[in-house]
A = this chain, B = another copy of it.
Amino acid sequence: MATGRSTQHNPNPAAGTRRSRGRGIPDATVARLPLYLRALTALSERSVPTVSSEELAAAAGVNSAKLRKDFSYLGSYGTRGVGYDVEYLVYQISRELGLTQDWPVVIVGIGNLGHALANYGGFASRGFRVAALLDADPAITGNVVAGLPVRHTDEMEEIVRSERVSIGVITTPPGAAQQVCDRLVAAGVTSILNFAPTVLNVPDGVDVRKVDLSIELQILAFHEQRKAGDEYRDEDEGADAEAPPAPAAAVVSTPGRAVGPGRGHGHERGQEYEEAAG
């Protein structure tokens, strides 16, 4: 994952000094913190004062040893023989994730998905605020979605700067994604959440996280196929290699435009993936 983060992590040797905290928290751990936070928030609402690693781990769906190790990267916030103070941990994790501050976000591409995201309640809470909804289609701009007017992408730079937006969400058709991404980055956005089935190319220092429905489905299909065919498999394996039948579904997505001649064609560079979906 890319935790992108421009500079790699420094191995930080200095750690020795008190709170080695904050430095070099493993990416895998960072990815789980929101999970813990959610479970802790639920406990907090039920006014549960403390929780053991075992209980919290169960609630978050992870192994308790892993949870303890994760927390150890934040510092020693637990009390042996007792567990962790819920409120305290909620605060520490929120702070570590940067949720104690306001994060203005712009959503570009107000189609079905953009619409859904704009209405998503999870945005409002936890410091994320939709600063603006943008779309390039004049037929859409002006509409009010989730209480906000959809503005034209021409205003993108202006909005990103004036609202100090550092996080952008791309829900455009694949063909427009790279261009929108470039503009967002040029305007000052340094973190992008991409829902378009496109490999985005960004300069160092910019983080991109991808969300791709079709990839998720394909991964499920793979496992599903394996479950179903585990008994009688091999048969067609031997010769399978030959005669690549014409691709069935051919058509395929690739919804938007063709390859972009404009900017480098290519694609090039870096990215990393994992799964995603389109």
Contacts and interface: CB of A to CB of B under 8 A. Distances in A.
A116 B277 CA distance: 8
25 contacts: A3-B219, A3-B262, A8-B263, A19-B233, A28-B258, A28-B259, A28-B261, A28-B274, A46-B259, A61-B272, A112-B120, A122-B214, A122-B252, A127-B249, A191-B224, A202-B266, A207-B220, A209-B220, A209-B270, A262-B272, A262-B273, A262-B274, A263-B272, A266-B272, A270-B275
Task: Name the 5 nearest CB pairs between A and B, nearest first.
Answer: A98-B225, A210-B270, A1-B269, A61-B271, A31-B259
Contacts of A261: 1, 26-28
B223 A207 contact: yes
Contacts of A37: 218, 254
B127 A1 contact: no
Contact of A240 (B87, B95, B119): B95
Contacts of A204: 265-266
Contacts of A9: 223
B254 A41 contact: yes
Given A60-B199, A113-B116, A116-B115, A6 B223 contact: yes
B264 A97 contact: no
Contact of A254 (B126, B212, B268): B126
A161 interface: no
A202 to B, nearest CB: 5
A183 interface: no
A62 B273 contact: yes
A154 interface: no
A80 interface: no
A250 interface: yes
